[in-house]
Amino acid sequence: MSEAFQVLSFEDARHIVEEHTAKLAPPETEIVDLLVADRRVLAKAIMSDRDLPPFPRSTRDGYALRSTDPAAVPRFLEVIGEIKAGESLENIPKHLGNGQAVSIMTGAPVPAGADAVVMVEYTSQQGGRVEITRSIAAGENIVPAGAEAKQGSVLVERGVRLNEAAIALAASVGKFRLEVYKRPCVAMLATGDEIVSVDTTPGPTQIRNSNSYSLAVQIRNAGGEPVLLPIAPDEPRRLRELMEEGLNSDALLMTGGVSMGRYDLVEQVLEELKAEFFFTGAKIQPGRPVVFGRCRGMGGRETEGTYFFGLPGNPVSTMVTFELFARPIVEALGGMSPQKLRFVYAKLKSEIRVKMGLKRFLPAILSGELEGSRVELVSWQGSGDVAATARANCYVVVPPDRELIPAGEFVAIIPR
């Protein structure tokens, strides 16, 4: 193995991935209907076509009034009208005078002269007069015109993955079609003679190909389109053929064959393909033998070349290394703005004891809410234990210099 091959700390390996995501050119775009735009990455910012709200809006059912007219409580005001949501401006009193109030509904425009809305719960109407039973401050229960957004302002930035709130904003400004980035095609190649397809009865020493299917879910969640390749045997010629096919996609994810065993051939074949390696391992558990690199002259991205990851074959290692390293590349290939890895913190239910030297991402269960959140490792049998990971909803992050973390200490976690 050449001197260029190197095992890095987690932080250094992640930094290299983030450097490459920042350099990726955005993909081509397409126009999609708003109803099917969820989870797509926006290619053209959504702008407000008018002030939001376009008028001072009441946030409660009640009475619009002058907050200082009169100041004493209780006070009695003349009711001069009623305003419903969607009311024509022609039916709204032009100006609210001294000693007057207007019955108003949630979402309705506040008439000129009124500077507050008192909730109906604090009123009592008798004929043409209303009794106000509590004091009220200027601006109470009113959203000023343009408070949410000004006409021409950016509502959703380019490079954002669209969720329900972004879709609602687009609809509110009449965007029934949106320009989004095309999803990247990400090839998945499982390697090893011990791997068989899911519809095959495995032999005594064989296992079904679960990695490609877990990766397919993760790829879709990251905004990509998974492409399933045939299983590659431990034979250099066929492995190379399938790798070349995968390198014609926007990215290639390989599972297995990246350790130091005699039949771990992935790195050997990549060297034959003149691959550029950025790292060939990270000091983490699970997932130490992860590989990241690029092959130029293949695929549809001639400028950047095709990025590839060699992910460890153990299922949990595959899932963890995708989230830590491959996800940012897939998201960037889909036009998403680069994201930093974000951690949350919770108190540890039971102590953790590990060997020092590796940064660990261990499956765990987070329970409780806010200040009462607690996290505890699931009982697992190592990086091949998918059943334990299926029970987990997060990973606890254990620093490489910690051998013991006592119960009750706050620890960093990555939600799943």
What CATH number belongs to 57-143?
Answer: 2.170.190.11
Q: Which residues contact 267 (CB under 8 A, 6 or more apart)?
A: 1, 5, 258, 277, 280, 291, 310
Nearest to 280 by CA among 250, 321, 249: 321
Q: Are residues 275 and 266 in contact, defined by beta-carbon separation less than 8 angstroms? A: no
* d(C-alpha 59, C-alpha 389), whole Å: 45
Write down the residue that tokens 């431990």 correspond to: 234
Q: Which residues contact 26 (CB under 8 A, 6 or more apart)?
A: 43, 159, 181, 335
H or E segment at 398? strand 394-398
**Helix, strand, coil percentages, rounded to 5, for the chain:** 20, 30, 45
Write down the residue that tokens 């590839």 correspond to: 308
The per-residue pLDDT for range 30-46, each reduced to its tens digit, is: 999 999 999 999 999 99
Residues pairing with 283 in the sheet: none
**Strand 281-282 relative to strand 7-8, pairing:** parallel
The fold for domain 344-415 equals: Beta-clip (2.40.340)
pLDDT along the chain (416 residues), means of 10: 70 96 94 97 97 95 89 85 85 83 94 94 93 93 96 96 96 96 97 89 89 96 97 92 95 82 72 92 94 81 82 92 97 93 92 95 86 86 82 95 96 93
Per-residue model confidence (pLDDT) at position 298: 66
Q: Are residues 257 and 243 in contact, defined by beta-carbon separation less than 8 angstroms? A: no
Per-residue model confidence (pLDDT) at position 392: 93
> Would you list the domain boundaries of the chain?
7-28+182-333, 31-47+157-181, 57-143, 344-415
CATH architecture for residues 7-28+182-333:
3-Layer(aba) Sandwich (3.40)
